[in-house]
Amino acid sequence: MMKKLFFTLLVIMLFAPIYAMADTANLDRQLRNHTFVYIDKKTGLEHTIYFGRFGKVYDEYFPCKFVDGTWRITTAGALCLEDRADKSRRDGKTCLKPKIDGTKISFFDSAGKLAYQSKLTKGNGMPLG
């Protein structure tokens, strides 16, 4: 009985990282070449973010301003954005956990509280100016 329990725990420990990598790779595929638009709760401004098809870059537009940066997904499945020019705005360390349900994307903070909710659309939906 003890051997069976030990073997089960060993299998779980060995395959959990593989499952996490598969999950983050799937999330990566779901975000690439997609755009989402959300309302910033602090400012009330609409933001549009496009995750590029190649590499880990994103473009963001909010009224009268275009910015860009890099993105990554942690092993825990959280999305981290780092603004190229203004690290105080997006530092790459404050991450949100996305949950994608069809064309709906929700972002949760580390406490599990809903931070943003948006529609996820395929392609580059950035405004022209």
Q: Is residue 53 a part of any domain in this protein? A: yes
In this structure, is residue 41 part of a structural domain? yes
* Cα–Cα distance list, 121 to 7, 8, 33, 36, 69 (Å): 44, 41, 9, 6, 20
∠ CA(84), CA(55), CA(42), 5° rounding? Answer: 40
**Residue 129 in domain:** no
The answer to whether position 86 is within a domain reads: yes
Asked if residue 23 has pLDDT above 80, the reply is no
33-43: pLDDT as tens digits: 999 999 988 89
Domain assignment of residue 83, yes or no = yes
Count the residues in the chain: 129
Residue 17 has pLDDT above 70, yes or no: no
Q: In the chain, how many H helices and how many E strands? A: 1, 8
Quick check: is 107 in a domain? Answer: yes
Measured between alpha carbons, how far is 112 from 74 in angstroms, rounded to an integer? 16
- Tell me: the pLDDT tens digits for 24-70? 888 999 999 999 999 988 899 999 999 998 889 999 999 889 999 99
Mean pLDDT to the nearest integer, 98-118? 93
How many domains does one find in the chain?
1
89-106 pLDDT per residue, tens: 889 999 999 999 999 999
Range of the domain at 73: 2-122
CATH number at residue 57: 2.40.128.640
Instruction: Report if residue 127 sits inside a domain.
Output: no
Q: pTM of the prediction?
A: 0.78
